Chains A and B, each alone.
Chain A
Amino acid sequence: MLPGEAVIKIKVLSRRFKRTWALRGIDLEVLKGEVFGIVGPDGSGKTTLMQSICAILDPTSGTVLVQGFDSVSGAKEITSMIGYMSQAFSLYGDLTVEENLEFFGGIRGIRAEVFEKRKDELLEFSGLKPFLKRRSSQLSGGMQKKLALSCNLMHEPDLLVLDEPTLGIDPLSRRHLWRMLKEYNSRGKTIILSTSYMDEAKRCGRLAFLLNGELVACDRPEAFGEDLEEVFASRIKKADWVRAVPFDRKPAEAGFVRIRGLKKTFGGFTAVDLQELTVESGEIFGLLGPNGSGKTTTIKVLCGLLSPTEGEVEVAGVDMAKSPEMVRGRIGYMSQRFSLYLDLTVKENIDFFGRVYGLSPGLLDERRRWVLDLSGLTGFEDVLTGELSGAVRQRLALGCSLLHHPDILFLDEPTSGIDPVSRRAFWEIIRLIAASGTTVFVTTHYISEAENCTRVALLHQGRILALDSPGALKSRHGTDSLEDVFISVMEGAP
C-alpha cells in the first residue's frame, strides 16, 4: 500500500462521560487509502473514538482533524463527506430496500440520474437486487448490514467509518461484506472499522489496540504476533480472568432435551422448524447461527417462555405441551440481554433470584458466596450492578441462573458484545459447569466458540443444516475451520 497523506489527525483526544473517561490522550493518524482496524475489549472506547472521528461527539479535550476540518468547528463539513455505520440497526425498518436507498441518497443531495446509476451498481454489488421491494426489517441480519453499507456508499464518501459492521451476521454475509469493503478500498477510499473477530483484524492494514480508553499499540497486524487473541489477552489485566471455582452438585439424572417435529410460526413466518433433536445429559450443546436464524426462539420454547405451534418438546423429563411450569425449577436460563436489575446491588440481585427459586436462608448464604467467588465480586457486594463492566455482569448473571442448581442451563448468546478475551474466560466457566454434570445448551453467533461444545447444530433460517461434534464436522468437510464448514453447508443449501 502506498503511503498517503494523513486523512485523520487525532491529537491528545480525551472524552469523559460524567465521571468516567472513555478515551484518554489518544494520538493517532490514519492515512489516505488505509483499512484501519480498531480492536479492544468491551468498553475500551472503540465506539467513542469512531463517533469522535465522525464529528457527532465533541472531545472533552484534544482535537480531531478530518481532512483538515476540526470535529467541533467543522462538523458540518466532516459529516457531509463521510459514511458512518453504527452498531445499531441504522435503517428505517418500515421502508423497503429501495426506499432506504432513496432516502439516504436524497438527504445527501444526489441527483436523480446519478442516483439511478449508483443504485443499480450497489444493488448488483450487494446482491440485494431480488429484495428491492422488501421492507428492510424483514431482511436477514447479513442483508441488513449490506444494505446499511450500501446506503452509506451512495454518496461515495472518501472516508468510511464502520462500528463492528460484521457483528452477529452469518459467515457468508461476512465474507460478502468484506469483499465489498476491499473493492471500495481499492478505489483509494479510506476505511476505519472496529471488530471483535481476530481474522478480520488480520485483514486490516494497521490496527489500533484500545484498552480502558488508552491507545496501547498501533501497528501492522503482523507486528503484533501470530495469535492476535493471545497477544491481546496477555495485555489485559489478569484480574479479569476466571478463577477455577469448583461447582459441586449431584450429576443430573434427567438433564436431557428431546424435540420432535417442532415448529414455531409468527403469523405467516416460520421462525423454527426442527425435525428431530436430542441433547443428552452432561452435554455442552451448541446451537449456532447468525442473528435471526431462530436460536432465541428455540431456547424460549425449551424454557417454556413460548409455546410451540406444533410438535413435541420434552425438557428434563417434562412434557412442555402439558405442564411447562413444571420445568421452571429444573432449568436455569440466561438471556442475551442481562436479566439482572441494574439498579439493584450485586447482593440484592443474588438474593432476589435466590428467593425467587425458594432457597432457604442458609442455602442462600452458601450459594451467594459461591456466585460472588465465580464472578470475582467478593468484597463488591454493595456495588450497583449497572456500574459493573459487561463481562463481569455477564458472569454475575450466569451465577444467578445457577443458584438453584438446575439440571439444564440454557444460555442465549451469553457472549454477545463481549471481547474475545472475556469470551474465552466465560467459556472456561461453562466447561467447569458442564464437568459437574449439568447439561449446557448454548447459542452463539461466534462460530469459533463452538469448538468448546461436545456437539453443535448449525441453524439457518430456522432449520438445522448440520449436526455433529465439531471434529466430525470439520473432517467431513476436509477443513480445520468450523466457519468454512458453515459456509460450504450454506452454499449447498437450497
Chain B
Amino acid sequence: MIYQLVKKEAREILRDPVILGVAIVLPVIMLFLFGYAISLDVDDVSMAVYDQDRSQESARLIDAFVGSGYFTIEHYLDSPGQVDRVLDKGEASIVLAVPPDFSRDVNLGKRTEVQVIIDGSFSATALIVSNYAASVVNRYTEDLLERRGEAAAGTVGINPRVWYNPPLRSVNYIVPGLFAVLLMAFPPLLTALSIVREKERGTIEQIYVSPVSPPAFIVGKVITYGVIAFFEMLLILVIGTLWFRIPFKGSVPLLIGISLIYVLTTVSIGLFVSTITRTQFQAMFLSLIVTLMPSFLFSGFLFPIATMPYMLQLYTYVFPARYFNDISRDIFLKGVGLEYFIGNAVLLIIYGGALFIAASLKFKKKVA
C-alpha cells in the first residue's frame, strides 16, 4: 500500500516541472548565490599608518603588513586627530599606530605594543581584519626573534590564532552551513504543499474513505520527499566539494547517515505544517516562517550563536537546523567522528521522531 502511495507521488512529481524546479534547481541556485555572494573574506583592506617612531624597525613592521597581501596603505598620518578623521570618513578600515619609543623598546628587548584601531561597524569583518592584523604582527615578531636571537625575546604581544579555516575562506563554512539551511527550506515546503494540495483539490477525501491508515499515508509522503531531499543533499555535497573546492575532512557515510536523520526531521516539520493548514498559501507561509527564516538566523549559519544574548541562545535549540549546522561543520571542516557530536545527533533523532508521531496523530481521516 505504501508502495502504491509512493509510486503515485513519484509520478505526480516527475510530471510537475514546478515541483522538480523547486526541489532541484532552486537549491542549486541558492548554493551558487551564497557561495559567491555571501563572502566574509577580506582582502585589500584599506589601511592608514600613524608612525610616531619613524625608524627602521617601524618600517619593517609596516612592510610586514603590506607584504601580507591583505592590506593596502592609503594614508600616512601625522596626528591623533587624523586617526579619527580617516576612520570617520571611511577612508581606512584599519589604523596602525606605532608608539614613539617602539624601536628603542624592541632594541632593548623590552615588551612593547602597537595599537591597531579597526572600523567595527560591521563586526563580522572587523573580527577577521583584527585576526589578520594579529597574524601579521605575530609573523613580524617571529622574524624579529630570528634576526636578533633569543637575547631580544618577548617583544610584540601574541594574539589568538585562527584554526580550522587557515585561509579564512568564508565559502568553506558557508557551504556546510548551507546544507542545514537548504535541507530545511525546501523539503518541508514541498511536503506540506503536497498534502495541502490534496486537501484543496479534494483528492484527500478519496484517501479518507479508503483503508489507507494515517501513518501509511504519512510514511508514503516522507519516503517520497525524503528521497528528493536526499538527492538535493548529494547535489549540494558534490557541487560544494568539486566546484567550490571545500576541503572535506570527515567521513562521507557519516555525513550521509546524519543527513538522512536531519532530512526526516525537516520533512516531518512539513507534515506537521500540513496538518494545521488548509490552503497551499497558508502552508507555504507557515513553512517558510518556521523553517527558512530561523534556519538563517538561529542556526549559526551566518550569525554565531555564541555572541547572541543568553535567552536567544536557548531559543536556537528550538530549531533543528542549529544541531545539524554544528554537525555539518564538524564533519566537513574538522573531520571529527560521531563521538564528538553524539549529543546533537541524539537531539535530532528525538526531534524528528516526536514531530513524525505528532503529525501522524494530528492527521485524522475526517473532513472536519
Binding site for B on A (CB under 8 A): 17, 51, 54-58, 75-76, 79-80, 82-84, 86-95, 99, 102-104, 106-109, 135, 151
Contact = CB atoms under 8 A, between A and B. Distances in A.
A89 B202 contact: yes
Contact of A84 (B203, B205, B211): B205
Contact of A108 (B7, B8, B211, B366): B211
Interface string B332-368: 0000000000000000000000000000000001111
A56 B4 contact: no
Nearest to B198: A92
A80 B8 contact: no
B16 interface: yes
Contacts of A151: 206
Contacts of A107: 1, 4-5, 207, 210-212
B221 to A, nearest CB: 14
A94 B15 contact: yes
B78 interface: no
Interface string B171-210: 0000000000000000000000000000001110111111
A479 to B, nearest CB: 36
Given A106-B4, A107-B4, A107-B212, A84 B206 contact: yes
A56 B11 contact: no
Given A88-B202, A90-B202, A94-B11, A80 B4 contact: no
A56 B208 contact: yes
A90 B203 contact: yes
Nearest to A157: B209
Contacts of B3: 106
Contacts of A54: 208-209
Interface in B243-292: none
Nearest to B14: A94
B261 to A, nearest CB: 29
B101 interface: no
Given A56-B208, A75-B365, A108-B210, A92 B12 contact: yes
Nearest to B200: A88
Contacts of A58: 366
A109 B212 CA distance: 10
Given A84-B209, A91-B203, A106-B3, 18 more contacts: A54-B209, A56-B208, A57-B366, A57-B368, A58-B366, A76-B211, A76-B213, A79-B209, A79-B365, A88-B205, A89-B201, A103-B7, A106-B1, A107-B1, A107-B211, A107-B212, A109-B1, A135-B15
Given A56-B205, A94-B16, A109 B11 contact: no
Contacts of B208: 54, 56, 79
B8 A95 contact: yes
Given A80-B210, A107-B4, A95 B11 contact: yes
Nearest to A95: B11
25 contacts: A17-B368, A51-B367, A54-B208, A56-B208, A56-B365, A56-B366, A56-B367, A57-B366, A76-B211, A76-B213, A79-B208, A79-B210, A80-B211, A86-B206, A87-B202, A89-B202, A90-B203, A90-B206, A92-B12, A94-B15, A95-B11, A95-B12, A103-B4, A107-B5, A108-B211
Nearest to B13: A94
A99 B8 contact: yes
A17 B205 CA distance: 18
Nearest to B208: A56
A55 B203 CA distance: 16
A51 B204 CA distance: 13
Contact of B8 (A17, A89, A90, A103): A103
Interface in B1-30: 1, 3-5, 7-8, 11-12, 15-16
Contacts of A57: 366-368
B211 A109 contact: yes
A102 B367 CA distance: 25
Nearest to B3: A106
Contacts of A86: 202, 205-206
A151 B207 CA distance: 12
Contacts of A104: 206, 210
B197 to A, nearest CB: 10
Contacts of B206: 84, 86, 90, 104, 151
Contacts of A76: 211, 213
Interface in B83-104: none
Nearest to B207: A107
Contacts of B365: 56, 75, 79
A11 B87 CA distance: 84
Would you list the 7 A-B pairs with minimal beta carbon distance, nearest first? A88-B202, A106-B4, A84-B209, A80-B211, A56-B208, A94-B15, A86-B205
A292 B201 CA distance: 17
Nearest to B220: A107
